[in-house]
Amino acid sequence: DIQMTQSPSSLSASVGDRVTITCRASQSISTYLNWYHQKPGKAPKLLIYAASSLQSGVPLRFSGSGSGTDFTLTISSLQPEDFATYYCQQSSSSPYTFGQGTKLEIK
């Protein structure tokens, strides 16, 4: 199975900050990488697919980049509604594994 490792595991930031979360795959996955976020008690929500494609309706402050084994999710200017847990997921091969999550908290 492909292992997905996110860093950091948790992050404190302030409204207006620029934030970057990293995801590393244990083997090359080309650009088969998706990002989700999840608020407490809620279902995950798709943000980015194919490493850099913004899902319809997702604000432009979210962006993704990377290919092969190293990927990043960037939030250009944090808004209050962005404080959540973020997950990367590979869809290169089954089983579609997720990263362990990055909890983004208010500083």
Partner 1 sequence: EVQLVESGGGLLQPGGSLRLSCAASGFAFNTYAMTWVRQAPGKGLEWVSTINRDDSTYYSDSVKGRFTISRDNSENTLFLQMNSLRAVDTAVYYCAREMTGQYWYFDLWGRGTLVTVSS
Q: From residue 85 to residue 104, what is the string marking binding to partner 1 with x (rule CB under 8 A)?
A: --x-x-x--xxxxxxxx---
**Out of 20, 22, 55, 65, the residue judged to bind partner 1 by CB under 8 A:** 55
Q: To 10 degrees, the CA torsion angle through 87, 66, 6, 97?
A: 60
Question: Do 62 and 48 touch, CB atoms closer than 8 A?
Answer: yes
In whole angstroms, how close is the CB of 95 to partner 1 at the nearest point? 5
Q: Work out which of 32, 62, 71, 83 binds partner 1, going by CB under 8 A.
A: 32
Q: Please identify which residue in 44, 54, 68, 76 interacts with partner 1, judged by CB under 8 A.
A: 44
Asked if 93 and 2 touch (Cβ cutoff 8 Å), the reply is yes
Q: Where are the beta strands (DSSP E) in 1-107?
A: 4-7, 10-13, 19-25, 33-38, 45-49, 53-54, 62-67, 70-75, 85-90, 102-106
Q: Is 62 in the site for partner 1 (CB under 8 A)?
A: no
The footprint of partner 1 (CB under 8 A) covers 31-32, 34, 36, 38, 42-46, 49-50, 53, 55, 87, 89, 91, 94-101
